[in-house]
Amino acid sequence: MLSARPLRILVVDDDPAMVGAITALVGTEGHQVITAYDGLTAVKRFREEAPDLVLLDLAMPGPDGFTVAGQMRAAGQAPIVVVSGESAEEAKVRALGIGADDYLVKPFGRQELLARIAAVMRRADRALAGAGTAGAGGSDGGATGHLEAGSLVLDPGRHEARVADHRLDLTPTEYRLLEILARAGGDLVPHLRLARAGWPGDANPDLLWLKPHLARLRKKVSDAGGPSIVAIRAVGYRLELD
């Protein structure tokens, strides 16, 4: 099964045959499909139907998939898997940078599609479970359970991070990346270790995912007056602590 619970999946593609094929594939796993054939309808359905997951093509009438992904990410946190015939690295980086959680190139096999869906849902479910442990009595780094790194203060139980009185608006993946950097105390964290922390549901996470997520995270922390996230070329990242 893709998930332990039934999913409501929004499938967005201007090709009815592709929508039908995806609907048939995920339908055999017991999940409900919501369809959209253009960008405007896709965003409307996302806001009205609150799907658990989005499978999104990039080329379509109206707003393209990049624009749609950005609008969806601003409206909610449901995982977005781009399903596109565009295989260029530039498109993948751009989509992930806007907020997509994964990128699947057409044509794809049934098992690959189901595996990608399962992976993003595991990450989303684990993030929700982690946030739900707040106040359960766990401790992480002192009596308060807080983790401090310079001006950053993280609460692992709540998956929250602050700089002074400013609460950072982080996605679950961004929080996991920030937490492992904070735990390193300014030391270098290699790319692979970061990727495994950011995407714990994947045995072999794609290192390509790191750059756009860390770029967004760096801006959020910097805009709040927090420490810089420094990239060490071809090696990894670290926090610049005073």
Tens-place pLDDT, residues 157-174: 788 899 988 999 988 888
User: If pLDDT is split at 50, 70 and 90, which confidence band does 57 have?
Assistant: very high
Q: Any idea which of 73-77, 124-128, 188-192, 208-212 has the lowest mean pLDDT?
A: 124-128
Region 29-54: mean pLDDT is: 90
User: If pLDDT is split at 50, 70 and 90, which confidence band does 134 have?
Assistant: very low
Residues 131, 127: Cα–Cα separation, whole Å? 6
Residue with more model confidence, 138 or 147: 147
Q: What proportion of the chain, given as a percentage, has pLDDT over 90?
A: 34
Determine the Cα angle at 221 with ends 184 and 68, to 5°. 115
CB atoms within 10 A of CB 63: 16
Query: Is the CB of residue 44 less than 8 Å from the CB of residue 70?
Result: no
Long-range contact list for 27-32, CB < 8 A, 24+ apart?
A: 29/1, 29/2, 29/114, 30/1, 30/6, 31/2, 31/6, 31/7, 32/6, 32/7, 32/8
Q: Are strands 32-36 and 53-56 parallel, antiparallel or unpaired?
A: unpaired
> CB within 8 A of 51, min separation 6: which ones?
7, 8, 9, 10, 34, 45, 78
